[in-house]
Amino acid sequence: MDAKVVLCDFAEVSGGKLFISGAGLALLASGTPASPFRVNLTLAVLGLITPVDTDVQHKMTIELVHVGTSMENRVMLTDEVPEGSDPADRGMIVAYFVAPRSPEMLPNDEWSMPMAIPLFGLGLPEIGAYYFSVRIDGREMDRSSFRVVPPQPPQMIGGAPGAPAPDAAATGGDGAPGVQDAPEPPL
């Protein structure tokens, strides 16, 4: 068994396929100026299942770790631990699953098991580096790293706030300096 994880803006599973939008996040601007620093992201996880992995229960854990200058600290994703789980899993997302064997599966097949885990409004304790670690049955399958940066200042269009609007005669009528309205291209 194997798994790959990708950080993205949005993902969903439909018809046994993983649909991903905005994949490969590396820098996330916080939506808030103070702790908790809020971010929106989705974990797209693609589990790879072989016939040996089917029809038995597996345990998947997802851990979020903040990488500090001198140490790493687990960030609590949840305050609950599923019944029967190890107390050391506190703060991690824990999921138990069974991949049923399909009659079409051949001995050397590797089938995908897609998962989408939205984490919208996730509050992080500090600006800085983090990573998600995905483990199945205690073995780390993949990591995906990212860095949280402070909120970005709003972009100004047309000059500074409170500045007078450009003269319509100098702009071509649409507010953009020196741009004239162009005729529509023929179809």
Confidence at residue 102, expressed as pLDDT on a 0 to 100 scale? 87
Is the pLDDT reported for residue 170 higher than 60?
Answer: no
Identify the domain containing residue 140 by its residue range.
2-48+63-78+111-149
The answer to whether position 7 is within a domain reads yes
Does residue 119 form part of some domain?
yes
Where residue 134 sits, what CATH number does that domain have? Answer: 2.60.40
Q: What is the mean pLDDT of residues 166-171?
A: 50
Q: What is the mean pLDDT of the chain?
A: 86
pLDDT in tens, 21-39: 999 999 999 999 999 999 9
Q: Does residue 35 form part of some domain?
A: yes
Q: Look at residue 58 and tell me if it is in a domain.
A: no
Q: What is the pLDDT of residue 85?
A: 74
Q: Let me know if residue 166 belongs to a domain.
A: no
Helix, strand or coil for residue 168?
helix
Residue 128 amino acid letter: G
Cis amide prior to 36 (ω within 30 degrees): yes
What is the number of structural domains in the chain?
1
In a domain? residue 139: yes
Q: Give kind and range of the element (H or E) at residue 29.
A: strand 27-29
> Is cis: bond before 33, omega within 30 of 0?
no
Is 40 domain-assigned?
A: yes
pLDDT value for 164: 55
Residue 55 placed within a domain? no
